[in-house]
């Protein structure tokens, strides 16, 4: 990567050579040539650092008053983290902010108002990597203008557990889809000279007992599922940092797990960035340092400042080799040099945020992430034929819901629904002031009547007096809390059933972080999954409902019919005392996560992975597939056969003929095409060889078995449209290759 030079040529004569190198200057750069590579600059900087400066670089503070400790004076207030820079070497402070939906604020009286993207799961539902990139670029810019140069964005934990309270921050259940979408978001963030942090490495897939749970999983199953999602996100996005999770993996804390950090991440994948701990996830000095943690985060979250004085002492006593401390500091500095943090210092200048431009980026992602699950009798898109429309529930008169916890982005003017949800973390429940009702009223000439939906009978009466009922059903999910089951909370199922029974056309708009069950499904005409749709969510929902844009989202996760279909009857650890340690066995499903589990078990889901209706129709022709350099090259044509412009999401699945895979099929690729009526487009998809392989732990290699493979073109995991067969030769390749 080319680096710009620092404008400090006058210092050249006085600085020692190493120091000059670290600051990006050589005789060549002083003369206007290229700066040395980040590796070289980081090595030079570390060589010029004192022991104390190195320790300072690997020890992070929470940048919020907490546990009686005042935030560091140079930290941006009420944010996630601060690490002091080394001025004499031109190393700036690291100013860390959450998270995936935008610039968050830790609990404070006056949270900063910033633009919220739709939830990560919503962006994933767009199946449009360009939108993930654009969203990342937007929030990365807002982070920079908020004074931050590190953003804790890149949540890619697989949705193994639909009850996980943080599913909204992630990108669904498939490693390829998740990895690509999150990798693109990371790339977008880093286009602003802001380091991104893929997280939470690894298997932090439930919130119940998140710091106590020991996840049991075999190496091969993990490499083909959760770890593959990280691997793809990392190679696509090249994040400067990886955040290790709270949980244990096979008996060891993720943040001192030699297997995860040293063997898989750094050795097999050749990762050159640094590993930072989650806040409160460091548990030791020597084991953590030796097993691959590079930076302790968020002091005073942990019990002890392990990477401060104790680490210095461990280095002085020889328990941690000085070379390892150098490696820790070098990795951090390398990420900073590689992303241009030295050349592009951040300033707090939020007045420069182009609020309208940010809102447009958020809205585009929300619109393409909304999934039309059901649309009977062509009720949607709504036409101007209704005299009275009942809008019921979900505070749809004033805004849209957002997910809770450290990723919370606050809107200008505060939540229009104050005092909802827990008073302290992960609360409060925040609504974003983008009203679906107002956005609909701006588009349809009808009388709108709002009812809060709390009393089912009263809501049904309002519906009965209208020509159309739109029920907004919400499920608030948040960091640190899992859902008890898959039902909508607060008896909303009763309200929906009662409204539907009023006999008027009924639409349900879901604002949820996870899949929910729908006992009323047969009684309603249309259902839209809008997730948490972000700062412009009301507009996005109205535009999809009225057909100003096509419904083009597709499910990035299976919607089960019931909890009985899941690998676990309940989330392990449920009901245990807070201090209890326990394990959860991911070997039950192994790599067969989500739709793979459903197909392997023969379970019929409520809505399959990849499902989503459009307002137009598509036809697919000319599917061909051929072996191509150890992978498969696929081609086909999609045509818009309907009367409206729309967006198709053709999906390519692969199956291996004969035994050997964890499940009948795997997603091998997809395309997203915008097509006018009558228009067609060609797709060329290269299937990632890892999706054709099985991981061989003994050889530490991927292996593609020689034989026949079926390539299926589909509109959803349960909706194949064409298949072809390909014969592949045997192939083995390294754990970090493809
Ligand atoms: C804990 C969360 O797990 C993590 O995602 C977040 O970045 C940190 N806290 C900092 O707020």
pLDDT digits (tens, 9 = 90+) for 320-354: 999 999 999 999 999 999 999 999 999 999 999 99
pLDDT at 630: 83
pLDDT at 264: 98
Please measure the distance between the N-terminal and C-terminal CA atoms of the chain and give it in whole angstroms.
22
Could you identify the atom of ligand 1 that is nearest to the CA of residue 99? 7
Mutate to test the pocket of ligand 1, among 79, 94, 99, 169 (most ligand atoms within 8 A of CB): 99
Q: Is residue 533 part of a domain?
A: yes
Which of 346, 381, 396 is the last residue in one of the domains? 346
Does one domain contain both 389 and 315? no
d(CA 145, CA 113): 12
pLDDT tier, 53 (very low <50, low <70, confident <90, very high otherwise) = very high
Please name the residue whose Cα sits nearest to atom 4 of ligand 1: 278
- Global pTM? 0.96
Worst-scoring range by mean pLDDT, 130-139, 250-259, 419-428? 419-428
Q: Which CATH number characterizes residue 684's domain?
A: 2.60.40.10
**Average pLDDT rounded to a whole number, residues 494-500:** 98
pLDDT at 6: 33
pLDDT digits 0-9 by tens, 559-601: 999 999 999 999 999 999 999 999 999 999 999 999 999 999 9
Could you identify the atom of ligand 1 that is nearest to the CA of residue 199? 5
Kindly give the distance from the C-alpha atom of residue 295 to the centroid of ligand 1, in angstroms, as a whole number: 14
pLDDT at 23: 61
**Average pLDDT rounded to a whole number, residues 284-312:** 98
Cβ atoms of 641 and 618 within 8 Å: the answer is: yes
Provide the 10 A C-beta neighbour count for residue 11: 13
Does one domain contain both 256 and 206? yes
Q: Which CATH number characterizes residue 66's domain?
A: 3.20.20.300
Kindly give the distance from the C-alpha atom of residue 421 to the centroid of ligand 1, in angstroms, as a whole number: 20
- Going from the C-alpha of 251 to that of each of 108, 161, 505, 578, 653, the distances in angstroms are 37, 21, 54, 19, 35
Q: For 699, phi and psi rounded to 5 degrees?
A: -90, -10
pLDDT at 30: 40
Say which DSSP state 103 is in. -
pLDDT at 109: 82
Provide the 10 A C-beta neighbour count for residue 225: 27
**Average pLDDT rounded to a whole number, residues 431-451:** 98
The residues with which 473 forms a beta bridge, in sequence order, are: 510
Angle at which helices 492-501 and 456-464 pack, to 10 degrees?
30
Q: For 686, phi and psi rounded to 5 degrees?
A: -100, 120
- Does the structure show a pLDDT above 70 at 74? yes
Does one domain contain both 187 and 333? yes
Kindly give the distance from the C-alpha atom of residue 424 to the centroid of ligand 1, in angstroms, as a whole number: 16
Domain carrying residue 504:
370-549
d(CA 9, CA 445): 66
Mutate to test the pocket of ligand 1, among 105, 208, 278 (most ligand atoms within 8 A of CB): 278
Kindly give the distance from the C-alpha atom of residue 156 to the centroid of ligand 1, in angstroms, as a whole number: 13
Whether 327 is a known active-site residue: answer no
Give 347-352 contacts, CB < 8 A, sequence gap 24+: 347/145, 347/147, 348/76, 348/145, 348/146, 348/147, 349/145, 349/147, 350/112, 350/114, 350/142, 350/145, 350/146, 352/145
pLDDT at 2: 33
Please name the residue whose Cα sits nearest to atom 10 of ligand 1: 80
Q: Is residue 604 part of a domain?
A: no
Q: Is residue 356 part of a domain?
A: no
- Does the structure show a pLDDT above 90 at 299? yes
Kindly give the distance from the C-alpha atom of residue 725 to the centroid of ligand 1, in angstroms, as a whole number: 45
pLDDT at 25: 54
Does one domain contain both 205 and 61? yes
Q: Is residue 121 part of a domain?
A: yes
- Does the structure show a pLDDT above 90 at 606? yes
Could you identify the atom of ligand 1 that is nearest to the CA of residue 96? 10
Q: For 663, phi and psi rounded to 5 degrees?
A: -160, 165
Does one domain contain both 711 and 634? yes
Could you identify the atom of ligand 1 that is nearest to the CA of residue 301? 9
Kindly give the distance from the C-alpha atom of residue 72 to the centroid of ligand 1, in angstroms, as a whole number: 18
- List the catalytic residue out of 278, 294, 525, 550: 278
Closest by CA position to 311, among listed 335, 352, 282: 282
Report how many domains make up the chain: 3
The continuous run of DSSP H or E covering 716 comes out as strand 707-716
pLDDT tier, 691 (very low <50, low <70, confident <90, very high otherwise) = very high
pLDDT digits 0-9 by tens, 528-570: 999 999 999 999 999 999 999 999 999 999 999 999 999 999 9
Worst-scoring range by mean pLDDT, 153-157, 423-427, 676-680? 423-427
Does one domain contain both 404 and 328? no
- Going from the C-alpha of 429 to that of each of 404, 409, 436, 530, the distances in angstroms are 6, 11, 18, 17
Does one domain contain both 274 and 311? yes
Q: Which CATH number characterizes residue 530's domain?
A: 3.40.50.1700
Tokens of 685: 């998809």
Kindly give the distance from the C-alpha atom of residue 643 to the centroid of ligand 1, in angstroms, as a whole number: 47
Report the mean per-residue pLDDT for the chain: 95
Write out residues with Cβ below 6 Å of ligand 1: 80, 98-99, 152, 199-200, 278-279, 406
Q: Is residue 591 part of a domain?
A: no
- Does the structure show a pLDDT above 80 at 445? yes
Does one domain contain both 269 and 389? no
Closest by CA position to 163, among listed 536, 733, 568: 568
Sign of the alpha-carbon dihedral angle for 591, 595, 599, 602: positive
Does one domain contain both 518 and 647? no
Kindly give the distance from the C-alpha atom of residue 450 to the centroid of ligand 1, in angstroms, as a whole number: 37
The fraction of the chain above a pLDDT of 70, given in percent, is 95
Does one domain contain both 401 and 303? no
Q: Is residue 570 part of a domain?
A: no
Q: Is residue 115 part of a domain?
A: yes
**Average pLDDT rounded to a whole number, residues 258-280:** 98
User: Any idea which residue has 């909204």 for tokens?
Assistant: 168
Tokens of 576: 């245990």
pLDDT at 21: 58
Does one domain contain both 662 and 704? yes
d(CA 168, CA 426): 14
Closest by CA position to 333, among listed 61, 81, 41: 41
Which of 510, 530, 549 is the last residue in one of the domains? 549
Does one domain contain both 477 and 419? yes
Cβ atoms of 101 and 151 within 8 Å: the answer is: no
pLDDT at 560: 98
Mutate to test the pocket of ligand 1, among 105, 197, 406, 407 (most ligand atoms within 8 A of CB): 406
SS3 608: coil
pLDDT at 505: 98
d(CA 538, CA 557): 23
Mutate to test the pocket of ligand 1, among 152, 241, 244 (most ligand atoms within 8 A of CB): 152
Kindly give the distance from the C-alpha atom of residue 277 to the centroid of ligand 1, in angstroms, as a whole number: 9
Please name the residue whose Cα sits nearest to atom 9 of ligand 1: 279
Q: Is residue 629 part of a domain?
A: yes
pLDDT tier, 659 (very low <50, low <70, confident <90, very high otherwise) = confident
- Going from the C-alpha of 142 to that of each of 70, 218, 365, 432, 434, the distances in angstroms are 25, 40, 17, 17, 20
Q: Residue 374 contacts by C-beta under 8 Å, 6 or more apart in sequence? A: 521, 524, 525, 526, 527, 613
């Amino acid at each position: 990567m080319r680096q710009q030079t620092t404008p400090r040529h006058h210092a050249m004569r006085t600085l020692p050579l190493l120091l000059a190198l670290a600051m990006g200057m050589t005789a060549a750069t002083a003369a206007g040539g290229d700066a040395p590579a980040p590796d070289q600059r980081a090595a030079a900087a570390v060589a010029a650092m004192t022991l104390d400066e190195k320790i300072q670089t690997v020890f992070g503070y929470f940048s919020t008053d907490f546990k009686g400790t005042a935030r560091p004076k140079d930290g941006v207030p009420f944010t996630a983290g601060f690490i002091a820079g080394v001025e004499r070497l031109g190393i700036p402070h690291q100013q860390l902010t959450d998270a995936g939906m935008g610039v968050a604020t830790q609990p404070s009286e006056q949270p900063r108002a910033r633009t919220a993207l739709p939830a990560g799961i919503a962006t994933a539902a767009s199946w449009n990597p360009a939108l993930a990139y654009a969203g990342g670029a937007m929030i990365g810019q807002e982070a920079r203008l908020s004074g931050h140069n590190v953003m804790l964005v890149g949540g890619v934990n697989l949705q193994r557990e639909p009850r996980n309270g943080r599913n909204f921050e992630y990108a669904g259940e498939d490693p390829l889809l998740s990895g690509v979408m999150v990798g693109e978001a990371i790339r977008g963030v880093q286009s602003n000279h802001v380091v991104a942090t893929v997280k939470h490495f690894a298997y932090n897939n439930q919130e119940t007992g998140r710091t106590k749970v020991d996840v049991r999983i075999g190496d091969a199953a993990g490499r083909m599922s959760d770890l593959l999602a990280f691997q793809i996100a990392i190679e696509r996005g090249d994040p400067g940092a990886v955040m290790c999770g709270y949980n244990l993996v096979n008996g060891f804390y993720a943040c001192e797990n030699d297997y995860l950090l040293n063997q898989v991440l750094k050795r097999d994948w050749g990762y050159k960035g640094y590993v930072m701990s989650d806040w409160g996830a460091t548990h030791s000095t020597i084991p953590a340092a030796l097993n691959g943690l590079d930076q302790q985060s968020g002091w005073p979250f942990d019990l002890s400042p392990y990477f401060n004085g104790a680490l210095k002492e461990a280095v002085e006593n020889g328990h941690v080799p000085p070379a390892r401390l150098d490696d820790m500091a070098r990795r951090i500095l390398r990420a900073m040099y590689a992303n241009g943090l030295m050349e592009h210092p951040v300033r707090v200048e939020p007045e420069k945020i182009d609020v309208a431009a940010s809102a447009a980026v958020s809205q585009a992602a929300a619109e393409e992430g909304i999934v039309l699950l059901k649309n009977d009798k062509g009720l949607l898109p709504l036409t101007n034929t209704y005299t009275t429309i009942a809008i019921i529930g979900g505070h749809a008169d004033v805004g849209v819901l957002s997910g809770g916890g450290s990723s919370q982005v606050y809107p200008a003017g505060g939540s229009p629904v104050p005092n909802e949800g827990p008073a302290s973390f992960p609360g409060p429940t925040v609504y974003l002031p983008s009203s679906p009702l107002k956005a609909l009223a701006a588009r349809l000439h009808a009388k709108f009547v709002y009812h809060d939906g709390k009393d089912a009978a009263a809501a049904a009466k309002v519906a009965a007096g209208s020509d159309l009922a739109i029920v907004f059903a919400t499920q608030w999910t948040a960091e640190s809390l899992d859902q008890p089951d898959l039902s909508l909370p607060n008896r909303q199922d009763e309200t929906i059933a009662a409204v539907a029974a009023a006999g008027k056309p009924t639409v349900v708009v879901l604002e949820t972080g996870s899949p929910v069950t729908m006992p009323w499904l047969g009684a309603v005409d249309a259902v839209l999954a809008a997730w948490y749709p972000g700062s412009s969510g009301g507009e996005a929902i109205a535009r999809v409902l009225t057909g100003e844009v096509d419904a083009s989202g597709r499910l990035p996760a299976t919607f089960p019919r019931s909890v009985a279909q899941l690998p676990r009857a309940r989330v392990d650890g449920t009901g245990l005392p807070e201090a209890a340690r326990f394990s959860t066995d991911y070997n039950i499903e192994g790599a067969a996560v989500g739709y793979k589990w459903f197909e392997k078990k023969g379970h019929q889901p409520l809505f399959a992975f990849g499902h989503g209706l459009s307002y137009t129709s598509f036809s697919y022709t000319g599917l061909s597939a051929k072996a191509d350099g150890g992978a498969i090259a696929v081609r086909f044509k999609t045509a818009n056969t309907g009367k409206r412009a729309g967006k198709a999401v053709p999906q390519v699945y692969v199956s291996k003929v004969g035994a050997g895979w964890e499940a009948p099929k795997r997603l091998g690729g997809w395309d997203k095409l915008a097509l006018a009526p009558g228009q067609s487009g060609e797709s060329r998809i290269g299937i990632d060889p890892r999706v054709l392989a099985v991981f061989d732990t003994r050889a530490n290699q991927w292996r593609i078995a020689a034989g026949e493979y079926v390539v299926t073109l589909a509109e959803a995991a349960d909706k194949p449209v064409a298949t072809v067969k390909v014969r592949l030769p045997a192939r083995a390749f390294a754990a970090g290759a493809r």
